[in-house]
C-alpha cells in the first residue's frame, strides 16, 4: 500500500505513519534500526528495492530523502507499507527548494526511538560523511565509491576523513575475495608470501582496497596493475601470491567464475559472483559497530602515495 502526501510537513508525515500502522495493523515493535537513504534528484528505486530485500533479514524503517535544491520550495511524501515495503516501512520524502537546506530536521522526527541509525548514500557521497548533516545522526555511514565520478579519489577522501562507523561498498564487495584468499593461506605449505600482484580495472575501487588489505596483512609490497575499461572484465581481474614453492593465482572471468591455480594441485573453478546491492547492504546491516579493519585499510588509501 502506498499513501501519497503532497505538499506536506514532517509532522503530518509522522501522524500519517501512525495512522497507517493503526489502521493496517503494521507495527514498529519489531524494527531494529532506521535506514536513511540520501539521494540527490530522483528517488533511487534500486536502493529502495535493495533495502526492501534486506529488510527481510533486518526489519527496519526506511527513510528515503530525495533532494532537488533548484526547484519550488515544498515537501512531498509517500508512505509504503505491506507488499510495497518488504518487511519494512518506507517513508519517501521529496524535498525541494529551501526545504533541502536542513536535511537533518527532515528525518529526525521520523526516526525510530532508541534504535540505531544507518545512513546510506547510494550515489555521490559528501567528502566527509561523518561531518555531513545526515552523517552526524548515523551510527553507521555507508558510501559507495564506485558511484562517484572518480572512484579512487572518493576512497582517498574517505581515508583522509575516516571516522569510526564509516564504511564503503567497495570494501563489502571484497568479502568473498578476502575469504577465498585467507582460506588458501590457511592451507599447507604455510610459506610466507614474498610478493603480491593485483590486477583490476580503473572503475573498480575494490581493486585498490584489496591491494591495500593484502599489503597490510602480509607486510609485503603489492604490484597494483590498473587496466582501462574494456581491457578485460570490469572489477578485479586477478590476484597472484608468490611463495617459495610457486605462485597462487586467483583470477575471475566476466561470468563471475574464478579459477584457482596452486603449485602441485589441480586447477579449481570457484563461484565468485559479483555482489548485488542487496547482498552488500544486508552484510553491512549485520554489524553496527565500527569496522576497525576497514578503517586501517582505507586510511592507508588516504595516506600520501
pLDDT tens, per residue, the chain with 305 residues = 889 999 999 999 999 998 887 776 555 556 889 999 999 877 789 999 999 999 989 899 999 999 999 999 999 999 998 776 666 899 999 999 999 999 999 999 999 999 999 999 999 999 999 999 999 999 999 999 999 999 999 999 999 999 999 999 999 999 999 999 999 999 999 999 999 999 999 889 999 999 999 999 999 999 999 998 777 778 999 999 999 999 999 999 888 899 999 999 999 999 999 999 999 999 999 989 999 999 999 998 755 44
Radius of gyration of the chain, Cα coordinates, nearest whole angstrom: 22
Q: Give the rounded distance of the alpha carbon of 197 from its chain centre.
A: 26
Query: What's the CA gap between 79 and 16, in Å, rounded?
Result: 8
pLDDT tens-digit series, residues 120-165: 999 999 999 999 999 999 999 999 999 999 999 999 999 999 999 9
Cell of 18: 501512525
Sheet-wide strand order for 257-261: 222-227, 195-201, 236-243, 246-252, 257-261, 268-271
Does the predicted model carry a pTM greater than 0.85? Answer: yes
Q: Which residues contact 56 (CB under 8 A, 6 or more apart)?
A: 86, 87
Q: Which residues contact 273 (CB under 8 A, 6 or more apart)?
A: 176, 256
Query: What's the CA gap between 179 and 247, in Å, rounded?
Result: 18
134 in Cβ contact with 108 (< 8 Å):
no
Three-state DSSP state, 52: helix
Amino acid at each position: 500500500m502506498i499513501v501519497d502526501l503532497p505538499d506536506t510537513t514532517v509532522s503530518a508525515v509522522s501522524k500519517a505513519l501512525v495512522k497507517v500502522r493503526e489502521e493496517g495493523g503494521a507495527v514498529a515493535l519489531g524494527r531494529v534500526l532506521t535506514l536513511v537513504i540520501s539521494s540527490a534528484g530522483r528517488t533511487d528505486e534500486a536502493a529502495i528495492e535493495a533495502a526492501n530485500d534486506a529488510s527481510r533479514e533486518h526489519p527496519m524503517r526506511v527513510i528515503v530523502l530525495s533532494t532537488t535544491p533548484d526547484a519550488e520550495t515544498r515537501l512531498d511524501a509517500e508512505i509504503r507499507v505491506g507488499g510495497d515495503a518488504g518487511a519494512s516501512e518506507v517513508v519517501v520524502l521529496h524535498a525541494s527548494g529551501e526545504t533541502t537546506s536542513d536535511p537533518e530536521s527532515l528525518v529526525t522526527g521520523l526516526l525510530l526511538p532508541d534504535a540505531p541509525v544507518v545512513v546510506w548514500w547510494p550515489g555521490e557521497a559528501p567528502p566527509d560523511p561523518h561531518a555531513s548533516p545526515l552523517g552526524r545522526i548515523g551510527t553507521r555511514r555507508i558510501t559507495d565509491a564506485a558511484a562517484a565520478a572518480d572512484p579512487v579519489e572518493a576512497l582517498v577522501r574517505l581515508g583522509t576523513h575516516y571516522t569510526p562507523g564509516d564504511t564503503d561498498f567497495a570494501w563489502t564487495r571484497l568479502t568473498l575475495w578476502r575469504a577465498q584468499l585467507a582460506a588458501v593461506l590457511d592451507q599447507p605449505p604455510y610459506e610466507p608470501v614474498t610478493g603480491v600482484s593485483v590486477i583490476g580495472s580503473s572503475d573498480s575501487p575494490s581493486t585498490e582496497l584489496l591491494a591495500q588489505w593484502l599489503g597490510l596483512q602480509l607486510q609485503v609490497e603489492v604490484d597494483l596493475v590498473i587496466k582501462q575499461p574494456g581491457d578485460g572484465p570490469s572489477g578485479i581481474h586477478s590476484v597472484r601470491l608468490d611463495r617459495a614453492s610457486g605462485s597462487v593465482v586467483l583470477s575471475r572471468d566476466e561470468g563471475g567464475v574464478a579459477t584457482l591455480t596452486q603449485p602441485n594441485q589441480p586447477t579449481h573453478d570457484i563461484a565468485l559472483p559479483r555482489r548485488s546491492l542487496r547482498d552488500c547492504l544486508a552484510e553491512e546491516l549485520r554489524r553496527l559497530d565500527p569496522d576497525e579493519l576497514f578503517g586501517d585499510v582505507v586510511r592507508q588509501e588516504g595516506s600520501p602515495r
